[in-house]
Amino acid sequence: MLARPRKLKLILIHEIFHFVWVRLGNRRRADFAALIQTELVCGARGALGESAQEAKPGEPKNYICESFCDTAAWLYSGVKTSPEFTLALRWRKKRQTWFEQNVSAAKLTA
């Protein structure tokens, strides 16, 4: 993994955000789930990481959590491009806006 620092960054941020997911609270988790449900209903294809892509056909709750963590890795790892970033730009922007409005230290402790 040390030989692949970009991949390591993505994995590290993804795993850290599993802890953030728990701290979001029910309302914010439900709000993110609604965002993901909108993507699914509209036929959005792709994902922002391997974890979500693999979870997509399976358990919905797992897919939502993995999508959250993969989105965080995409936003905060500093990795600008990856073959794993297959979600359309339109949906990426919606997720980025959601994160800007809902994920911050002040909001997570409230």
Residues of the chain with pLDDT > 70, as a percent, come to: 94
Interacting residues of 94 by C-beta distance below 8 A, sequence separation 6+ = 35, 39
Q: Is the pTM for the entire model greater than 0.75?
A: yes
Domain boundaries, the chain: 5-109
- Reply yes or no on whether the pLDDT at 106 is more than 80: no
How does pLDDT run across 35-63, given as a tens digit for each residue? 999 999 999 999 999 999 999 778 889 99
pLDDT of res. 77? 95
On whether the CB atoms of residues 24 and 102 are closer than 8 A, the answer is yes
- Reply yes or no on whether the pLDDT at 109 is more than 70: no
